[in-house]
Structures are given as C-alpha cells and as structure tokens.
C-alpha cells in the first residue's frame, strides 16, 4: 500500500476518544498484586537503574530469582550482591550490549540453554538519542536497542517458552509510539531519506515493538505463552545520558522534576507478570495496568508482517 493510502487509512482510524482515554489513564496509578512468586525465574534487561532496578527488587521481594541482562559488569555485580543480601534469592547476570547483534545472539543462546523455565521475560533496556547513531552493524541504534534486540531474543526463545507451556513476555513500550503518527518507514529504518529526530526515532521503535507483538501473539496462540506491552508511566530514568551536556542539563533541571518514581512502573510490571487477573491476556497494550488501544499505525497487520520479514532480514534470521 502506497504511503498516501496509508496516511488516509490511519487518518480515518484515529479517534479523539482514545487520546482522551490516554490522558485520563496517565493520571492513574497501577493495580497492585500481592501474590508471591517464590522460586520463579524472571529475566530482565537493563536492571541496574531506573525501572529495571526497582522491578528486579520488586520480584525478588516476593521470592523470585533474578537474571539481569546489563552492559556493565561492576553495576551488575553490585545489584546481584544487593538482591541476594536483601531478599535471600538467587541473582545472576549476563553481560550484553543490546545495540550489538553479536551480543544479542550470545545472550539469547545463553537463555536458550537455561534448564530452568523462564517464567517472566521483561524487555526494559532503552536509549534516547537526539542525534542519529549507527551501531557496529550499521543499524540505527534506537531501533536496535528498543526493538530489534527484543525481537531477536523473543524469536530465538519461542521454542523454549512454548515447551514450558507457560510464560509471560512483557515489553516496556511507551505512549511515545504515537510520535510515529503516520507509521514507520520500512524502506528507511536508518533515516537516510527522512529527517532524523529523537522523538520520531523513538516513536518508530516503540511502534515496531507493538507491531511485532501482533505476530508473536499469533505464534504463541494456545501455547500458554503470553506477550504484552506496557507504557511505564511518566517516571524518572537515566535514559538520555548518552546525549550532550545541554540535553542532560535540561533533563535534570526541568524534565526529571516533573516525573514520578519508577517504583510505580515496577508495581505495574509485577502485576502484569504475576497477577491471575491477566493470566490469559495476550497481545495487549497497557498504560501501566490499564488496557488501552494503541495508535492505528501500531495495529496495522499488513505492516506487522512486512516488518516481521524485514526484521528477519536485518537480524540474519531465517524462518
């Protein structure tokens, strides 16, 4: 379908009611789950700070064992030492740069070889850039970290998770997917033909997450494996530290002062990973713990399957 046809298709599908619902939901807190999760295994990316840190502690406080995937060895060791000391559970870590395809494959292979079932897999790692950066593989960095890394890991773990007959995948998405208001440019994922901006690249990556969820959900049908995406709320994180001094100063002195603690995101991620109330829900987008309709470009099944094939190509995977 040509670009102008997509524009008119999405334009007709947009509903103001969904925007008002989003604004309303942004003011609400998450539902709370008090169920225990003893001796279960949670895998989480980007766990040394922000949302990931509080989420790891939340699950550990309820008895879960933790495997965190981070870039920094020292921070990972400190985190695991803290979790073991505070909660008496097991904590391990895998080191990977999720902007590097080699590292992504390596960590996916390590997870494949785990004999213990993975009960909850949370894709939390993220990055926000004001200027375009390419990875060592020649791919746009925000797209790889937010989307392609989770796609590869999910894809390579499909058989393992299905064999368990029960698992939950949660992708930390964003209402920011709405910045890709007229869809993603599958022919220009490296932003060579279109003008790059932080918001547009971020919106594209988060839209891609939601589109991939459509196809993964079909692959997991009747398997006991669920996959959902969650907007974590307006919370303070360390995302954006890779940018220049001006951006970091502005974020610290203006943006961060309007944000809430990432503990509310951890509450939502625990609810979505553990609560029996959402046990059979899959392929959904949540604003914290409230189900919400994503923007039209993130619901386009035709584009979802085109993106799936493109992702296999970029990642060097084969059906």
CATH number for the domain harbouring residue 223: 3.40.50.720
Specify if 27 maps to a domain: no
**Predicted local confidence at residue 269, as pLDDT:** 98
10 is catalytic: no
**Predicted local confidence at residue 260, as pLDDT:** 63
Residue 11 pLDDT > 80: no
Longest CA–CA separation in the chain, Å: 58
* Global pTM value: 0.89
**Predicted local confidence at residue 234, as pLDDT:** 55
Out of 202, 247, 270, 271, which one is annotated catalytic?
Answer: 202
**Residues forming a β-bridge with 285:** 229, 292
Which strand (E) or helix (H) includes residue 67? strand 65-70
Specify if 85 maps to a domain: yes
What are the distances in angstroms from CA 155 to CA 39, 44, 105? 25, 16, 11
Residue 39 pLDDT > 60: yes
- What integer is the mean pLDDT of 34-43? 97
**Predicted local confidence at residue 255, as pLDDT:** 39
Q: What is the CA radius of gyration of the chain?
A: 19
**Predicted local confidence at residue 248, as pLDDT:** 40
CB-based contacts of 28, cutoff 8 Å, min separation 6: 287, 288, 290
- What integer is the mean pLDDT of 102-119? 97
Specify if 11 maps to a domain: no
**Predicted local confidence at residue 29, as pLDDT:** 84
Could you read off the pLDDT of 70-99 as tens digits, one per residue? 999 999 999 999 999 999 999 999 999 999
Residue 126 pLDDT > 50: yes
Rounded to 5°, the CA angle 170-45-199 comes to 75
- What integer is the mean pLDDT of 55-72? 98
Specify if 147 maps to a domain: yes
Specify if 3 maps to a domain: no
**Predicted local confidence at residue 16, as pLDDT:** 63
Quickly state the pLDDT bin for 319 (edges 50, 70, 90).
low
Lowest average pLDDT, out of 5-19, 104-118, 263-277, goes to: 5-19
- b/e map 273-294, b = 16+ CB within 10 Å: bbbeebeeebbbbbbbbbebeb
Quickly state the pLDDT bin for 246 (edges 50, 70, 90).
very low
- What integer is the mean pLDDT of 258-272? 84
Quickly state the pLDDT bin for 110 (edges 50, 70, 90).
very high
**Predicted local confidence at residue 3, as pLDDT:** 57
Could you read off the pLDDT of 217-236 as tens digits, one per residue? 999 999 999 999 999 975 54
Residue 245 pLDDT > 70: no
181 or 239, which is more confident?
181
Residue 283 pLDDT > 90: yes
Specify if 26 maps to a domain: no
| Summary mean pLDDT of the chain | 89
Count of domains for the chain: 1
Residue 171 pLDDT > 90: yes
Range of the domain at 218: 36-315
Residue 318 pLDDT > 80: no
Residue 17 pLDDT > 70: no
Specify if 5 maps to a domain: no
**Predicted local confidence at residue 235, as pLDDT:** 52
Q: Identify the CA nearest to 57 among candidates 108, 23, 91.
A: 91
Report DSSP letters for 200-250, one per residue.
HHHHHHHHHHHHHHHHHHHHTTTTTEEEEEEE--SB---TTTTS-HHHHHH
Helix axes 149-164, 301-315, angle to 10 degrees: 100
Unique residue bearing structure tokens 């609810």? 271
């Amino acid at each position: 379908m040509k670009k102008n046809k997509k524009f008119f298709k999405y334009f007709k599908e947009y509903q103001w009611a969904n925007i008002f619902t989003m604004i309303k939901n942004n003011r609400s807190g998450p539902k709370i789950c008090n169920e225990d999760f003893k001796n279960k295994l949670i895998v989480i990316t980007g766990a040394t700070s922000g949302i990931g840190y509080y989420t790891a502690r939340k699950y550990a406080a309820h008895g879960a064992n933790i495997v965190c995937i981070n870039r920094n060895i020292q921070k990972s060791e400190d985190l695991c030492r803290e979790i073991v000391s505070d909660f008496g559970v097991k904590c391990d870590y895998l080191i990977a740069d999720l902007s590097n395809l080699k590292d992504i494959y390596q960590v996916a292979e390590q997870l494949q070889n785990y004999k213990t079932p993975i009960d909850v897999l949370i894709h939390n790692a993220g990055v926000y850039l004001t200027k375009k950066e390419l990875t060592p593989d020649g791919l746009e960095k925000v797209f790889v970290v937010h989307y392609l890394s989770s796609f590869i890991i999910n894809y390579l773990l499909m058989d393992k998770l299905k064999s368990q007959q029960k698992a939950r995948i949660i992708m930390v998405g964003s209402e920011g997917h709405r910045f890709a208001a007229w869809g993603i440019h599958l022919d220009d994922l490296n932003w060579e033909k279109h003008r790059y901006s932080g918001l547009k690249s971020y919106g594209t990556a988060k839209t891609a997450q939601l589109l991939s969820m459509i196809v993964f959900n079909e692959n997991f049908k009747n398997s006991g494996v669920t996959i959902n995406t969650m907007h974590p709320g307006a919370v303070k994180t360390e995302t954006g530290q890779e940018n220049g001094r001006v951006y970091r100063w502005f974020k610290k002195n203006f943006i961060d002062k309007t944000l809430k603690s990432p503990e509310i995101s951890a509450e939502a991620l625990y609810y979505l990973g553990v609560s029996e109330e959402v046990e059979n829900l899959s392929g959904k987008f949540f604003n914290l713990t409230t189900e919400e309709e994503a923007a039209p470009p993130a619901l386009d099944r035709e584009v979802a399957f085109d993106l799936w094939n493109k992702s296999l190509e970029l990642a060097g995977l084969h059906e």
